[in-house]
């Protein structure tokens, strides 16, 4: 590590603390985190397998669900193996480039997931407000393009962040990150240079993704609600709204934790570091765990296919 004036340095690696203030409990914390990661991986892989083999699920909504499952696997896998390595083996060191790559993956795929939720809201809008055109508007090719657009948006939005840090802020006051993974603001607070441009850019991206996407989704559901209220019978209204239930639950599971985590990180200066770090990790684990559960419980085809698989296994035994 090169050092200048014994204050700022050019680090070759960083040291991740894990959960600051709870280092003595790391081995115990590994139990719930390891269990949650295992459930997230198994749940999302199960969703991917069921949608693949069940031809009745080859519809736009379930293709988007598969995209969510892949994104959730990337988000959880980008942080949990390293976190468990810290808990079990004290493997706290992470290279500078690896740290920036982890930061990119986390923020990029969180942005992609928001884009997929926006695409799913569009799918529900067309399915309910213009059902006769749903199959012609939301073709397999269009679904693929929407997924690709969400991915490209994530790369374009988040791609500049690691580049700005690498090129504009090469010097650091410390190489110790008081966090369990390489989060953007956690890295920025260690830099020696003027980080205002990075802060403004990060806030702007947060506004574009969190606020504008949620507003667009809310607008689509206002129009959906108006269309549903125009249906003739209460039974028809409930049945139609029921098709949106899983999507609404998944949206709340995603946006509520990210909003709470973002507000605490920027304005919750009195929140203790352990609480903040634990919340930040739960934000990356809660959607991957609950999304498969929500869709498995609320989707008849997925539920029946899973029960069929379990019955076959029980007969084999």
**Average pLDDT for runs of 10 along the chain of length 317:** 63 93 94 96 93 88 94 96 95 95 96 96 91 92 97 97 92 92 91 90 89 92 87 76 82 86 70 86 90 83 78 65
Do the domain assignments include residue 38?
yes
Question: Domain total for the chain?
Answer: 1
pLDDT more than 70, % of the chain:
94
pLDDT at 311: 72
Rounded to whole angstroms, how far apart are CA atoms 172 and 189?
9
Residue 189 has, within 13 A of its CA and on its CB side, a CA count of 11
Rounded to whole angstroms, how far apart are CA atoms 274 and 282?
12
Rounded to whole angstroms, how far apart are CA atoms 107 and 99?
12
Do the domain assignments include residue 1?
no
Cβ-count burial 192-230 (b if 16+ within 10 Å, e if not): beebeebeeebeebbeebbeebbeebeebbeebeebbee
Mean pLDDT (the chain, rounded): 89
Residue 50 has, within 13 A of its CA and on its CB side, a CA count of 25
Tokens of 237: 């209204």
Do the domain assignments include residue 4?
no
CATH, residue 47: 1.20.1070.10
Helices (H), the chain: 26-53, 60-77, 80-89, 96-129, 134-137, 140-158, 160-168, 184-188, 196-206, 213-229, 234-267, 273-298, 300-316
pLDDT at 4: 47
Do the domain assignments include residue 39?
yes
Assess contact for 282 and 257: CB atoms under 8 A: yes
Do the domain assignments include residue 2?
no
Do the domain assignments include residue 192?
yes
Closest C-alpha to 290, from 256, 244, 315? 256
Assess contact for 259 and 210: CB atoms under 8 A: yes
Do the domain assignments include residue 201?
yes
Domain that holds residue 112: 22-316
pTM of the shown model: 0.92
Do the domain assignments include residue 5?
no
Count of CB atoms situated within 10 Å of the CB of 166: 12
């Amino acid at each position: 590590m090169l050092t200048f004036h014994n204050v700022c340095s050019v680090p070759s690696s960083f040291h991740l603390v894990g959960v600051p203030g709870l280092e003595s409990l790391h081995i115990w914390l590994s139990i719930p985190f390891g269990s949650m990661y295992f459930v997230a991986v198994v749940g999302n892989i199960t969703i991917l397998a069921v949608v693949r083999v069940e031809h009745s699920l080859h519809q736009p909504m379930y293709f988007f669900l598969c995209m969510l499952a892949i994104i959730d696997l990337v988000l959880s896998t980008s942080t949990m193996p390293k976190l468990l390595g810290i808990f079990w083996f004290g493997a706290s060191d992470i290279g500078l480039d690896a740290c920036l790559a982890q930061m990119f993956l986390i923020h990029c795929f969180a942005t992609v997931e928001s884009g997929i939720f926006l695409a799913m809201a569009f799918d529900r809008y067309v399915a309910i407000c213009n059902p006769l055109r749903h199959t012609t508007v939301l073709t397999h090719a269009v679904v693929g393009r929407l997924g690709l657009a969400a991915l490209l948006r994530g790369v374009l939005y988040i791609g500049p962040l690691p580049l700005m840090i690498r090129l504009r802020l090469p010097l650091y006051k410390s190489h110790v990150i008081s966090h369990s993974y390489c989060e953007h603001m956690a890295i920025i607070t260690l830099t020696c240079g003027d980080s205002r441009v990075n802060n403004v850019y990060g806030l702007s991206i947060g506004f574009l993704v969190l606020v504008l996407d949620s507003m667009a989704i809310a607008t689509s559901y206002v129009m959906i609600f108006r269309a549903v209220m125009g249906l003739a019978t209460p039974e028809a209204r409930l049945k139609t709204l029921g098709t949106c239930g899983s999507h609404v639950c998944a949206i709340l599971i995603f946006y509520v934790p990210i909003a709470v985590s973002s507000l605490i990180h920027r304005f919750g200066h009195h929140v203790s570091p352990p609480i903040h770090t634990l919340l930040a990790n739960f934000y990356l684990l809660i959607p991957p765990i609950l999304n498969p559960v929500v869709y498995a419980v609320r989707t008849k085809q997925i539920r029946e296919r899973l029960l069929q698989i379990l019955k076959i296994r029980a007969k084999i035994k």
